[in-house]
Amino acid sequence: MNKPLRRIAIFCGLLIMTLLIRDNWLQYVKAGELQDNGKNRRISIERYAQPRGDIIVDGNPITGSAKTNGSDYAYKRTYKNGPMWAPVTGYASQAFGATQLESLEDGILTGNDDRLFFRRTLDMITGKKKEGGNVVTTLNGAAQKAAFEGLGSKKGAVAAIDPTTGAILALASTPSYDPSKFAGNSTTTDTPAWQKLQKSQNPDDPMLNRALRETYPPGSTFKVVTAAAALEHGLYPDPDDKTETPLPWVMPNTRTELKNDGPLPCKDATLRMALQVSCNTVFGKAGADLGKDKMRETAEKFGFNSEHFIPVRANASVWPKEMDEPQTALSSIGQFETATTPLQMAMVAAAVANDGKLMEPYMVSRLQAPSLDVIEKHTPDEMSRPLSEENAQKLQSMMETVVEKGTGRNAQINGVKVGGKTGTAQHGVDNSEKPYAWFISYAKTDSGSPVAVAVVVEDSDASRGDISGGGLAAPIARDVMKAVVDGKE
């Protein structure tokens, strides 16, 4: 080979080597980054090339898919009663991505999950179109309907749990939104619908999942946690013993009285009476006497200070770590910096109802292949034991007194034992905002306790003086519990 030809051959060889290196760099090193790049439309086009699998409640789909025209996305997502179920499903939009179950279980719903590999291979051989699998939830349709309709036009949230398993039965948040309105990619319909839901244009923030992502001052519902700490740490072993709490009671190292909400019988009240009429003085003193560390130990056993994944992420509820004695007293009645999600307070009620055993909350019971074969099934798992069985039953009797004789009478259900605790949480500068109305509860039948509920009403048309946990939130909790109990009969 003469010299010019040899040079050309070497040059061509270098070109081929460069192409091979570049190809392998793209295929094996940069493949993941390119696939996840938001500007890569091939991924979303492929995602909507066939109908997505469904999200299932009570054996029926609450989602669907519709054929599109004039778009390179063949199908778009549809929702049945979208606003009611949005806190569970999230959304899947061709233009704006996906959230919650639609995002977390996208692999199953699109049929791209690795666990469906053999199914996809078989379909390729037989010429059958690719199909998505299903996500079967733990939700109870009747309970969700009661929660959503109970909240109505009010701003707030409901979380309901099966105490024995941790299965989530209801997860409502209002105001809500219809994910169908922006499931496509039309700039004339979907984009304006999306923009109207953004907090910058809608202060009510309808896309905020208040049951999981908003933390509220829990008010007096937190006294259930303080009562649990007092029982567990032996401060007041018997709920019917006097607590030796003076009235008025001045917070430690201050000259400031902790006030009760009116002339309540709180002097030396028993824990039972203090919970029944909601004495700030008794529970503030109990928290201060226990100290911040013992209170934190009990609060964290109930799940405070940790995020929870159901599998959708729920914000961590807060029991403050750095406090002096007066702040510990205020935190122990649900004030100062104590803040909680509705899911967290449902977990508190569930642990009490389940004889002190807190089960890990979850809302996906199983994942199904397109053939309906189960490819993953959730097994209930114990999360912690905030209370001994004996102390949990003492606290149950106290919470049942609240509903029988105290501030929670509006939660009574004929023929069903109900335990509960009301809360009216002040907030804003100098408590200037309308208070939040809270109620946490559980129902108990001869077969055990099938449901624990937390309700918060963030805003209402009621005047400030008429806002109370017993008046606004307890009737919603009652209807949710009744829906679950009636479904068991």
pLDDT digits 0-9 by tens, 405-439 = 999 999 999 999 999 999 987 766 666 677 899 99
Helix 389-405 to helix 342-353 angle (10° resolution) is 110
Q: Residue 249: how many CA atoms within 13 Å on its side-chain side?
A: 26
Q: In terms of C-beta density within 10 A (0-12 exposed, 13-18 middle, 19 or more buried), how is residue 427 classed?
A: middle
Query: How far is residue 332's CA from residue 319's CA, in Å, rounded to a whole number?
Result: 9
Q: What is the pLDDT of residue 320?
A: 92
**284, 306 contact by CB (below 8 A):** no
> Mean pLDDT of all residues in the chain?
92
Query: How far is residue 402's CA from residue 133's CA, in Å, rounded to a whole number?
Result: 46
Known catalytic residues?
A: 220
Q: What is the pLDDT of residue 463?
A: 62
- Cα Rg of the chain (Å, integer): 27
Please give the average per-residue pLDDT across 281-305, as a whole number: 96
Q: What percent of the chain has pLDDT over 90?
A: 76
Q: What is the pLDDT of residue 462?
A: 62
pLDDT band at 71 (very low <50, low <70, confident <90, very high): confident
> DSSP assignment, residue 234?
T
Q: In terms of C-beta density within 10 A (0-12 exposed, 13-18 middle, 19 or more buried), how is residue 322 classed?
A: exposed
Query: How far is residue 44's CA from residue 3's CA, in Å, rounded to a whole number?
Result: 53
Alpha helices (H) along 305-373: 325-331, 342-353
pLDDT band at 460 (very low <50, low <70, confident <90, very high): low
Q: What angle do CA 43, 47, 48 make, to 5 degrees?
A: 125
Query: How far is residue 163's CA from residue 271's CA, in Å, rounded to a whole number?
Result: 24
Please give the average per-residue pLDDT across 229-247, as a whole number: 95
Say what the pTM is: 0.90
Distances (CA, A) of 95 to 48, 88, 199, 309: 11, 20, 18, 26
Q: What is the pLDDT of residue 28?
A: 77
pLDDT band at 7 (very low <50, low <70, confident <90, very high): confident
Query: How far is residue 105's CA from residue 378's CA, in Å, rounded to a whole number?
Result: 14
Distances (CA, A) of 405 to 418, 454, 489: 12, 20, 27
Please give the average per-residue pLDDT across 259-286, as a whole number: 95
Q: What is the pLDDT of residue 114?
A: 87
Query: How far is residue 295's CA from residue 290's CA, in Å, rounded to a whole number?
Result: 7
Q: Among the listed ranges 232-241, 413-422, 451-460, which one has the minimum average pLDDT value?
A: 451-460
Q: What is the pLDDT of residue 226?
A: 97
Q: What is the pLDDT of residue 144?
A: 98
Q: What angle do CA 418, 58, 374 make, to 5 degrees?
A: 120
Please give the average per-residue pLDDT across 453-469, as a whole number: 76
Q: Which residue has tokens 């149950």?
A: 396
**356, 386 contact by CB (below 8 A):** yes
Please give the average per-residue pLDDT across 276-281, as a whole number: 95
Q: In terms of C-beta density within 10 A (0-12 exposed, 13-18 middle, 19 or more buried), how is residue 375 classed?
A: middle
pLDDT band at 241 (very low <50, low <70, confident <90, very high): very high
Please give the average per-residue pLDDT across 318-325, as a whole number: 92
